[in-house]
Amino acid sequence: MYESMLASMQTLMVYSESGGATKTTTAVSLAAVTAAQGREVVLIDLDPRAASSKWLDAQPKEDGLHVGAILGDPDPVGWAEELAVPTDWFPTLRCVPSARNVSNREADRADHAELRLKTSLEGIQADLVIIDCPNRQGGPLTLSALNAADTIVYAAAPTVDGADGVDGARRSVEQFKLSRRRIGAPDNLTEAGIVVGAVQETIMSRIAVTSIDELRDTGLLLTPLVPHRTIVQEMRLTHEWYGQYRKGAPVVAAYTQLAEQVIR
């Protein structure tokens, strides 16, 4: 029964090894446009910066009951369902919040610690789980996401750092998949593609054009490119969904089309 449920549920990680890559915007936006369609979505904030949690204004049910509690428990079966809190955006969107001290889990070298996040998903009531990853190379937090996910979406800004962040992330993923093959473990990870956000539609800089071309050369670039709109950053400060405003409509439309390509 449990295996059947996991097979029907998709677990998608949004990943980049660069800061400012629109990773959180991509994770939150994919979660929101999917929840808006009536599907049950849980967003897991795995980043110690807690940017997704802050944007959604997702507070732990009790002090300490954030994603770090999952990562610190040797047997966290069912914890994701227990710790997921509702959001004000959609009744079908919940969040497992993060906190700054989640960074302490990077020092955890306990046996099988990287499997705890996956274990915590047992029994979760969701059609889709989205993991907002930290922008780090490898490490226990990233390994936790890689073990839990079946789908990877790379996020990038149209910058040199954005392209480098995707390149680094893809190298880490390949190393993870190689390690899985070496021990004879199943490799179920699918690279769904690269989402490029915050793209200036009018006059694009030479750096932006070159970076997008570099990402296109990977064969993973997804379209449409997500247009830049100031309202997206403004709504992060006010904990609101930019999709409820007319100015945010072009961004919502882009993420809705992208969701159709990466979400089962």
pLDDT reading at 2 higher than 50: no
- Three-class secondary structure of residue 177 per DSSP: helix
pLDDT (average), residues 39-67: 96
What's the whole-number average pLDDT of the chain?
93
What angle separates helix 139-148 from helix 160-182, to the nearest 10 degrees? 70
Lowest mean pLDDT among 30-39, 138-147, 253-262: 138-147
Confidence of residue 7 (pLDDT cuts 50, 70, 90): low
Nearest to 10 by CA among 191, 124, 150: 150
Residue 232 pLDDT: 98
**What is residue 45's predicted lDDT score, i.e. its pLDDT?**
98
Residue-range definition of the domain harbouring residue 127: 2-262
Residue 60: which CATH number? 3.40.50.300
Taking every pair of Cα atoms in the chain, the longest distance, rounded to a whole number of angstroms, is 53
| pLDDT tens column, 69-106 | 999 999 999 999 999 999 999 999 999 999 998 888 77
pLDDT tens digits along 162-207: 999 999 999 999 999 999 999 998 888 999 999 999 999 888 999 9
Residues of the chain with pLDDT > 70: what percent? Answer: 97
If one counts the domains in the chain, the total is 1
Q: What is the mean pLDDT of residues 209-220?
A: 97
pLDDT at 1: 39
Q: What pLDDT is attached to residue 187?
A: 82
Strand spans (E) along the chain: 10-15, 41-45, 85-86, 93-96, 128-132, 151-156, 190-196
In tens, the pLDDT along 97-143 reads: 999 988 887 777 766 889 999 999 999 999 999 999 998 777 889 99
